[in-house]
Amino acid sequence: MAFTDRHGGVSSGPYGTRNLGGSVGDDPAAVAENRALTARGFGLDPGGVVFMRQVHGRDVSYVTGPFGADPPSLDGVFTDRPGLGLAVLAADCAPVLVADPVLGMVGGAHSGRVGTAAGVVSALVEAMRAHGAGDLVAMVGPLACGSCYEVSGELREEVCAVVPEAWSSTPTGAPALDLRAGISAQLARAGVDDVRHDDRCTIETADLFSHRRERLTGRFAGYVWLTG
């Protein structure tokens, strides 16, 4: 499991430099080169990494290879194929990586405000268990933290009606969402006892892309894969 940052790539301008997102306006050739550089850096085949068309939903799928140039609309994937990389793009939403190291199965989910309320991480765990997974380890990656992710009072009420643990406020008392707490609670309810965190806040961390901080920007990614 690993998370990239915004350094070490070839993109320029607001996408500088390791933008991995293919739908944010960056030069496609630069994105392709960044993806290839990243894969090789992790010891993966650049042609063997799965990227999704993330749509803030709860659909997940078992995968045995990359989707190619036209990936389906998904927010979670999992596999038991060694050497196949799974990538989850983010720039304030949470990339959540899950693994059964004993059985040999890994998965990744994109869980932002809408996806967390829809339960995409729970759907991923359920699908992996249906495929034979047992004890799971999860890593919740960098995301907009509960002190920075300001929303309207109506949105906070809407999300917290289904994920009450996400209730938060900014230091000034404005309504906010703590998606890390909400996702952690969802994982616990799904029976995932070992939940780890990269606690960085994307809005506060200049080394990471943040849509809320910059609007026009790139995407970093969480990667997970099985070795040999």
Q: What is the DSSP string of 41-91?
A: HTT--TTSEE--B--SS--EEE-SS--TTS--B-SEEEE--TT-EEEEEES
Q: In the predicted model, is pLDDT for residue 228 greater than 80?
A: no
Q: Do 209 and 222 touch, CB atoms closer than 8 A?
A: no
Query: In whole angstroms, how far apart are CA 176 and each of 54, 83, 93, 115, 199?
Result: 23, 39, 14, 16, 17
User: How high is the pLDDT of residue 167?
Assistant: 98
Q: In the predicted model, is pLDDT for residue 69 greater than 90?
A: no
Least confident of 24-28, 65-69, 72-76, 178-182: 65-69
User: How high is the pLDDT of residue 14?
Assistant: 97
Closest CA to 4 of 104, 136, 109, 141: 141
CA dihedral of residues 63, 66, 68, 73 (deg, nearest 10): 40
Instruction: Indicate the CATH number for domain 2-224.
Output: 3.60.140.10
Dmax over CA atoms of the chain, in Å, equals: 50
User: How high is the pLDDT of residue 208?
Assistant: 98
Secondary structure of residue 141 in the 3-state scheme = coil
Q: For the segment 3-47, what is each residue's pLDDT rounded down to a tens digit? A: 999 999 999 999 999 999 999 999 999 999 999 999 999 999 999
CA angle 122, 54, 33 (to 5 degrees): 125
User: How high is the pLDDT of residue 68?
Assistant: 87
Q: Do 126 and 97 touch, CB atoms closer than 8 A?
A: no
Q: For the segment 150-188, what is each residue's pLDDT rounded down to a tens digit? A: 999 999 999 999 999 999 999 999 999 999 999 999 999
Supply the Cα-derived Rg of the chain in whole angstroms: 17
pTM comes to 0.97
Q: For the segment 93-152, what is each residue's pLDDT rounded down to a tens digit? A: 999 999 999 999 999 999 999 999 999 999 999 999 999 999 999 999 999 999 999 999
Q: Do 181 and 145 touch, CB atoms closer than 8 A?
A: no
